[in-house]
Amino acid sequence: MKNKNTNITKALVVGLIGLMPLISCKENVETTPYSSFTSANYFQSVSEAYSATLGVYEAMKSPNTYAWNIPLVYDADTDVEFLSPGTTVNDWREVSHYYYLAGNSLFYNTWSTLYAGIDRANVVIERIPQMNLYTNGSVAEKADLNRMVGEAKFLRGFYYSELVRLWGDVPFKTKSSVTGDDLRLPLTDRFAIYEQVIKDMQEAITALPASLPTDERINKFGAKAILARVALFAGGYSLRPNGTMQRANDYTKYYQIAQTQVNEVIASGLYQLNNSYSQVFKNQSQQVFEPKESLFETSFYTPAVTNTNSSSFGHFNAPLTVNGLYGSTLNRVFVPASFYTSFDSGDLRRDFSIARYSLDINGNRVPLLTAYTNINYVAMRYSDVLLMKAEIDNELNNGPTMEAYDAINAVRRRAYATNTPGSGITITLGAGGTGYTAATTISITGSGVDASAVPVITSGRISAITILNAGSGYTTAPTITINGVGTGAVLTPGLQTKRTNVTVDLPVGLSKDGFLLRIQNERAWELCFEGVRRSDLIRWNLLGDKIKSTQDAVKAIRSQYNYVASTNFVKGKHELYPLPQNELDVNKSITRQNPGF
């Protein structure tokens, strides 16, 4: 579910997987409890091994990771979004505003939760091959157990890649924790960790099923897509211990790894874009599993148990309401107007992703949210695979190939609805009429869905119409009704002019740099508010520049615009988070802090 305010807000979702509790209490600074396995005899059946494997997934559903911190807080304050101001010590807003303190509990909570997932993975990887059923079970039992080892290897690699993405060099181990010394390890160079991550994921891919999943468990091609993203991070710029932004001398080897993965995902023929961009997120919000577009997602919901929703998406970033009738949202995530205006007017993604309203007591919107949500967090969509394909080919071929054009143009055609039978609406204002008040509203009915608009009232007349959402699926002009007092206004409905592929497709002949710029913009429009923008900007070495240009743009619009990222951000410091103080206090094997801290 996407939706942000200009002042603008956002929405996502996650689910309940696993049965072992994830403990991450900042009061216990002596050790991070890395494992919930206590019985040496636990792995006696396939069902016990399955339960242990689900426990590895558990780390993803915590608010410390993908239910809140990683996609919502850690990705904020870029050129596409920023969080509401706040100065409270140890507050999540400190993190989003680049006021990083090593003692902020968010950092340690995320750190310890990811390491808990890693240690659970290590236990599964060690213990399942020791089971009698692993070698002597039935064909089905051995296949199931082999898959579980693959899942654990993938998740171990995934969690380590996230630690490296957020902190750079981190402690590293591939065996389960047995003694206290196992919890006090020195920092390992990030590229050594990346090598193991790539190895883990490649081994996992051979053990995972190739068929489309029916649940949130990772499959072969989801793992390939995530591996491609990890390889792009490894091949991009990162902040080094000496305070400089660098990329590896042999960075193209990571692009080659990524290229192999995305090519195989595309060649599988299993995946395709939903014809409607908005429908992707409607399905997500309604727990409609869409495996052809979503390659990897995390569940935050158990249908058999009420009130198990644990995601902050929607509650955290949906439009604000003032009446409990509509539910309660925090309205914490906002969009700079410069990003809103960067969309082309025919791009349907803008009006679906960005809400230009908050609801008042007389609003007509359907109920929103009363607290947290059960919407899955989608970690990888097929459109991301296509955009990675375009970027990788452009880099390795020193300019775009026709396959690169095809990949990015497929995403753009969906955004402009050139592949769908319907379209969005238009409203043309004729006479403004007289006697209208602030209570005047507009109703839209017709063959499509989701269109909405509000009138601008000036001295009793309708002086303009603001279309909040052009909707989709309209095959004929809708019926428009003006509600309330007043008379004489004339509103003429119509349909948006559909773009031809010639208009929507990128011009052939772009340079390598020109095509990369188009990709960078397209990733912002397509993947906004999905938790990847900040990391994309870092790997391109653009984060500081984009923050500065956003600050300049919003100042030109509104002198008091509350965008503080540019004030706090320091190049060569804020591309990584400080190592958590709780970890430094007890782990004396770590002898340095990240640059600038």
DSSP for 6-55 reads TT-------B---SS-----TT--S---------TT---SHHHHHHHHHH
Report d(CA 173, CA 504) in Å as an integer.
48
Residue 114 maps to a domain: yes
Residue 409 maps to a domain: no
User: How many CB atoms within 10 Å of residue 407?
Assistant: 25
Structural tokens at position 94: 């400190």
Tell me if residue 488 falls in helix, strand or coil: strand
Residues 592 and 459 in one domain: no
Residues 319 and 277 in one domain: yes
DSSP 140: H
Q: Which domain holds residue 358?
A: 1-380+528-597
Report d(CA 389, CA 228) in Å as an integer.
9
Residues 459 and 542 in one domain: no
Residues 334 and 430 in one domain: no
Which residue in the block uniquely carries the two structure tokens 């003429």?
492
Query: Using alpha carbons only, what angle is made at residue 415 by residues 506 and 84, rounded to the nearest 5 degrees?
Result: 110
- Work out how many domains the chain is built from and give that number: 2
CATH number at residue 281: 1.25.40.390
Tell me if residue 290 falls in helix, strand or coil: coil
Residues 437 and 307 in one domain: no
Phi, psi of 487 (to 5 degrees): -155, 155
Residues 433 and 339 in one domain: no
Residue 402 maps to a domain: no
Pick from 474, 497, 520: which residue ends a domain? 497
DSSP 373: B
Phi, psi of 99 (to 5 degrees): -105, 80
Phi, psi of 334 (to 5 degrees): -125, 160
Residues 352 and 250 in one domain: yes
Residue 396 maps to a domain: no
Are the C-beta atoms of residues 428 and 494 closer than 8 Å to each other? yes
Structural tokens at position 396: 């390795």
Digits of tens for pLDDT over the chain (597 positions)? 565 544 333 332 222 223 233 323 333 334 444 444 454 678 999 999 999 999 999 999 899 999 889 988 999 899 999 887 655 556 778 888 899 999 999 999 999 999 999 999 999 999 999 999 999 999 999 999 999 999 999 999 999 999 999 999 999 999 988 755 577 899 999 999 999 999 999 999 999 999 988 788 999 999 999 999 999 999 999 999 999 999 999 999 999 999 999 999 999 999 999 988 888 887 777 667 788 999 998 876 544 434 334 444 443 444 433 333 333 334 467 888 889 899 997 898 998 888 765 444 344 343 333 444 567 788 999 999 999 999 999 999 999 999 999 999 999 999 987 765 556 788 999 999 999 998 899 999 998 887 888 898 989 999 988 887 777 788 889 999 999 999 999 999 998 765 555 479 999 999 999 999 999 999 999 999 999 999 999 999 999 999 999 888 877 666 556 778 888 999 999 999 999 999 999 999 999 999 999
* Partners of 359 in beta bridges: 321
Which residue in the block uniquely carries the two structure tokens 């709780």?
582
Task: Enumerate residues 6+ apart whose C-beta is below 8 A from 118.
Answer: 34, 156, 159, 160, 173
pTM recorded for the entire structure: 0.80
Residues 535 and 487 in one domain: no
Structural tokens at position 302: 């158990």
Pick from 453, 479, 497: which residue ends a domain? 497
Residues 272 and 141 in one domain: yes
Residues 191 and 57 in one domain: yes
Residue 337 maps to a domain: yes
Of the candidates 204, 262, 510, 258, the one whose C-alpha atom is nearest the C-alpha of residue 382 is 262
Residue 508 maps to a domain: no
Residues 559 and 473 in one domain: no
Are the C-beta atoms of residues 540 and 567 closer than 8 Å to each other? no
Report d(CA 322, CA 171) in Å as an integer.
47
Residue 144 maps to a domain: yes
Residue 458 maps to a domain: yes
Burial, 55: exposed, middle or buried (Cβ in 10 Å; 0-12, 13-18, 19+)? buried
Pick from 479, 497, 515: which residue ends a domain? 497
Are the C-beta atoms of residues 187 and 593 closer than 8 Å to each other? no
Residues 441 and 565 in one domain: no
